[in-house]
Amino acid sequence: MRTLQERSSAHGVAGVEELAARCRKVALPLEGADDLDPLLKRIGNAGCVLLGEASHGTSEYYLSRAKISQRLIQEKGFSFIAVEGDWPDCYRVNRYIKGYPDSGQDAHEALHAFDRWPTWMWGNWEMVALAEWLRRYNADRPEERKVGFYGLDVYSLWDSLNAVVRYLEKVDGQAAEAAKRAYQCFEPYGEEGQEYARATYAWVPHSCQHEVVEMLTALRREQPGAQQDGREAYFVAEQNALVVQNAEHYYRTMITGNRTSWNVRDRHMAETLERLLQFHGPDAKAIVWEHNTHIGDARATDMAHAGMVNIGQLTRERYGRETVVLVGFGSYQGSVIASYEWGAPMRRMAVPAARPGSWEDVLHQAGAHNQMLLLTDGSLLGDIQRGEFMEPRGHRAIGVVYDPEYEHRGNYVPTILPERYDAFLFLDQTRALHPLHLEPHNQGEPPDTYPWNV
């Protein structure tokens, strides 16, 4: 049996005109705020809505997700937004939007503190606008009904470890000793995940696995006490300890291969999402912001052939397709914030026209304007879930590292679109994100935050 990659390559530009004509028939316009109504209707009573992006540096993806999130919160009572970011940094934003003591003067201060590369992912003006909106929305709401903002990722080993030590020093001496032993185990690696990864793979391997498991076990023996952040304090400490445990596993496996470390990371994100839903109660509803490669069902891509899973697949499996809505994003061309290599300075880069035969090319040919496909809407199933729609095609994926000159040799994931997403938002022309750390904004204010005026 041929893989999706082989089927996608063989398919090429064949059938593009016919598929574009069919897309033109079923696509919905996406030019004004009311054009989101069909998506909100499709979401219905779902408890998890996962919103993707085709890059980590495109303004319209952030603005569109913000507009959708605002409506989900206001109209459907969603409880929190969880993003592809580190727990400690995102919890700083959570404290600000909930008005906790000493949480900062404004959202710019809270988000400018995102200082781990790539800083632009969450330290940007688009996020400042959303955080200020969330702060205003939460202002008059009781504590238990304030909307939260949390990070799902696994990279913050040292920040999370420091947070656990500080917490346990206040509540329990014995458990704090376990945390300090874990801290001392990691000290020789100078807060560098790659250094720890290399050490655990060396000819005389050394691991801190025992120490982090012992720390989490000791913390879980403690009972939540009265803390500055009320009922969240113990949950946050436990989550930081879980991050340390899973981050240690992630860095220990990253040298041996991409598949294993990828799965450790996405399983951690799915576990964190489940913990957040449990913490917020039986009626909790979650909004997730991550890259398409995480939120689109991996089984509809070549990731499955490589043995990789992602949070979109895991969430569908855990809660059922009727409870989970996956929303993908893509664009034809424009600009983006990215770097040429890992850790390098951010740059505004041009995004060239999409590869011929790709899903982005098909939708551009269907109409060079913003549009939406409801891929699992009952009224459209007869038109979508057959024939050319079910053939794999390349779907652009731009990461934090990007080189436009290699656009047509990489950056495309073979995708069966109606299986990967429940809905797909196509924004024909897009522009780069507005990072806080790149240069000050002219007026000291966010850029235009209305997503459809492009």
3-state secondary structure string, the chain?
Answer: CCCHHHHHHHHCCCCHHHHHHHHHHHCEECCCHHHHHHHHHHHCCCCEEEECCCCCCEHHHHHHHHHHHHHHHHHHCCCEEEECCCHHHHHHHHHHHCCCCCCCCCHHHHHHCCCCCCHHHCCEHHHHHHHHHHHHHHCCCCHHHCCEEEECCCCCHHHHHHHHHHHHHHHCHHHHHHHHHHHHHHHHHCCCHHHHHHHHHCCCCCCCHHHHHHHHHHHHCCCCCCCCCCCHHHHHHHHHHHHHHHHHHHHHHHCCCHHHHHHHHHHHHHHHHHHHHHHCCCCCCEEEECCHHHHCCHHHECCCCCCCCCHHHHHHHHHCCCCEEEEEEEEEEEEEEEECCCCCCCEEEEECCCCCCCHHHHHHHHCCCCEEEECCCHHHHHHHCCHHHHCCEEEECCCCECCHHHHHHCCEEEECHHHHCCEEEEEEEECECCECCCCCCCCCCCCCCCCCCC
Give CA angle at 238 (234, 243), nearest 5°: 145
Return all residues near 302 (Cβ < 8 A) that are at least 6 apart: 3, 4, 5, 8, 413, 414
**The two three-digit tokens of residue 125, written as one number:** 């003006």
pLDDT above 60 (res 443): no
Taking the C-alpha atoms of residue 274 and residue 236, their distance in angstroms, rounded to an integer, is: 14
Confidence tier at 368 by pLDDT (50, 70, 90): confident
Average pLDDT score over the chain: 88
pLDDT above 60 (res 299): yes
Taking the C-alpha atoms of residue 436 and residue 454, their distance in angstroms, rounded to an integer, is: 21
Structural domains of the chain, ranges and CATH numbers in brackets: 4-151+285-430 (3.40.1660.10), 157-264 (no CATH)
Q: What is the largest CA-CA distance in the chain?
A: 69
Mean predicted confidence (pLDDT) in 272-301: 97
Taking the C-alpha atoms of residue 177 and residue 424, their distance in angstroms, rounded to an integer, is: 50
Confidence tier at 226 by pLDDT (50, 70, 90): very low
Quote the crossing angle between the two packed helices 359-366 and 16-26, to the nearest 10°: 60
Share of the chain above pLDDT 90, in %: 64
Q: Which of 345, 333, 349, 351 is nearest to 439 (CA)?
A: 345
The whole-model pTM stands at 0.92
Mean predicted confidence (pLDDT) in 159-171: 86
pLDDT score for 454: 30
Return all residues near 403 (Cβ < 8 A) that are at least 6 apart: 340
| Strand duo 148-151 + 393-396: pairing | unpaired
Taking the C-alpha atoms of residue 399 and residue 262, their distance in angstroms, rounded to an integer, is: 14
Mean predicted confidence (pLDDT) in 301-317: 96
pLDDT above 50 (res 97): yes
Confidence tier at 223 by pLDDT (50, 70, 90): low
Confidence tier at 204 by pLDDT (50, 70, 90): very low
pLDDT score for 453: 39
Confidence tier at 334 by pLDDT (50, 70, 90): very high
pLDDT above 80 (res 228): no
The more confidently predicted of residues 162 and 56 is 56
From residue 216, how far is each of 167, 168, 326, 383 by CA, in Å?
13, 11, 32, 51
How many Cα neighbours within 13 Å face the side chain of 406? 10
